[in-house]
Amino acid sequence: MNRLPRVHMLASVRSAEEALFAFSAGADLIDAKEPSHGALGAVAPQALREIVAVVAHRRPVSATVGDVPLQAPALRDAVRRTADCGVDFIKVNLFEPGAPGRPMLDLPLACPGLALIAVVFADRTPAPPAEALARSGWHGLMLDTERKSGGGLRDWTDDEWLAGFIRQARAAGLLVGLAGSLSQTDVRPLARLGPDYLGFRGALCAEARRDACLDPMRVRAIRAELDRAAN
């Protein structure tokens, strides 16, 4: 029997202490995020520098630019401030309804050399064509949910749609990830679809509360489930 491709684990953390927990428990990508500020809440610059320092290049680190006006100059400045903290990937939500599409799509052209990840929300924002993102220089595409009390990703989509989303992103050469209130029971069905990353926050925290501290035992449980899914 052929093994499924290994799906990597993204763990969202809000501090250097949590980053160390996540790293030690087997997370593949340390994602800096402040959960009290929403789906893409940014941690403070000092906290981000501390996270990067404690990970010390042993894993890649990603971070969101936060709630930034969807205007090219503001986004460009936010991206550069985040990059200056030493992260490997920078996550940006560009495609709010009514936002001017082309200047946002072309953001990588104004930030050469940076690995930008476009984030879209299954419960709110239509996904842009993966081919257009790739042509504009985006490095990856992440599907998340904005409303964390309205169910998880699989409540807003189905496996057939998600498989198409992943297939199109891969065909365009983009890194592709899935997140959105994922639980341990989501790991196997989503891993079968072959994303590069599955992203977690609440499932890794005490009492499954995304605003609580990371629990290393919960991180290890998700890590073990991902490893079993590849067998």
Active site residues: 33, 91
- Cα 50 from Cα 17, distance rounded (Å): 9
- Cα 140 from Cα 81, distance rounded (Å): 20
Partners of residue 177 on adjacent β-strands = 142, 197
Per-residue tokens: 66: 């936060």
Residue 137's closest CA among 90, 174, 91?
174
91's enclosing H/E stretch is: strand 89-93
176's enclosing H/E stretch is: strand 175-178
Contact (CB, 8 A) for 14 and 48: no
Helix, coil or strand: residue 53: helix
218's enclosing H/E stretch is: helix 216-229
∠ CA 179-184-189, nearest 5°, is 70
